[in-house]
Structure 1
Amino acid sequence: MKLVNLSNEEEIAVNVNQAYSFFKRLRGLMFTDKLDLGTGMHIKPCQSVHTFFMNYSIDIIYLNAANIVVAIDEALTPGKVGSRYADAVSVIELPAGTVSHTRTEIGNEVEFVL
């Protein structure tokens, strides 16, 4: 699945994996070596993330039910807990630097394309 920013027509990621089951959400990116450029993980439902048991930093985009960006954490380093956002229903975890490179901002609308 691909992720596109409808507000600025930037392609955020070409390969977004889904973590919609309890066990996939629980595992997330823990114990992975890296997150390749152009890839990401969509975790739903989710209002907050952590980077425990990870060896690299990630960008996090928080989405509401309408796929509007309600918050962003850039370059969250390993061993940290991201903020919790009550209006978020899902998050997208991306390689660090993706948010700035794609000019993604709070208020942007994104779309998942199969």
Structure 2
Amino acid sequence: MGRRLRDGREVLVVHGEHGEVRVPLEIAASYRARTKGLLGRDGVDGAMLLTPAGSVHTFRMRMPIDVAYLDRGLRVIAVRTMAPGRLGLPRLRSRH
């Protein structure tokens, strides 16, 4: 990856079988931003990247979320849909 991520907004480019898809990305890299995450929101425009993060929870959240666990190279290693009020299992190789 090469660079350290900081809080902010960027564009995520997903390469798939049918070409590229560009998705708005919110990065939560600081302790404060990761702690707040999606709390108090009714939705998210695009995606949120929590880094570093080996596991996630949906306590006090208003909506179910799709969680993609990423390794150091930002490759997807697992995907789960989590309902509000759940604790996700830690993924050993997950970094984001």
> Normalising by structure 2, what TM-score?
0.80
Which residue matches 1:32?
41
Alignment pair present for 1:80 and 2:77: no
List alignment gaps of at least 5 residues for structure 2.
Answer: 1-9
CA distance in 1, matches of 2:77, 2:35: 22
Equivalent residues, number: 86
What CA distance in whole angstroms lies between the structure 1 residues aligned with 2:31 and 2:89?
20
Among 28, 34, 41, the alignment partner of 2:48 is 41
State the structure with more CA Rg.
2
| Distance across 2 between alignment mates of 1:34 and 1:68 | 24
Q: CA deviation at 1:7?
A: 4.2
Deviation track 1:13-56 (CA, whole Å, cap 9, x = no partner) reads 621111000100111111112224xx111000001111111111
Closer/same/farther in 2, CA of residues 10 and 60 from structure 1, 3 Å limit: farther
Structure 1 outlier segments of 4+, above 6 Å: none
TM-score norm. by structure 1 comes to 0.69
Higher relative contact order (CA 8 A, sep 6+): 1
Structure 1 unaligned residues grouped into runs of 5+: 91-114
DSSP-derived class of the 2:49 partner: strand
Identity %: 33
Over aligned residues, Cα RMSD in angstroms? 1.5
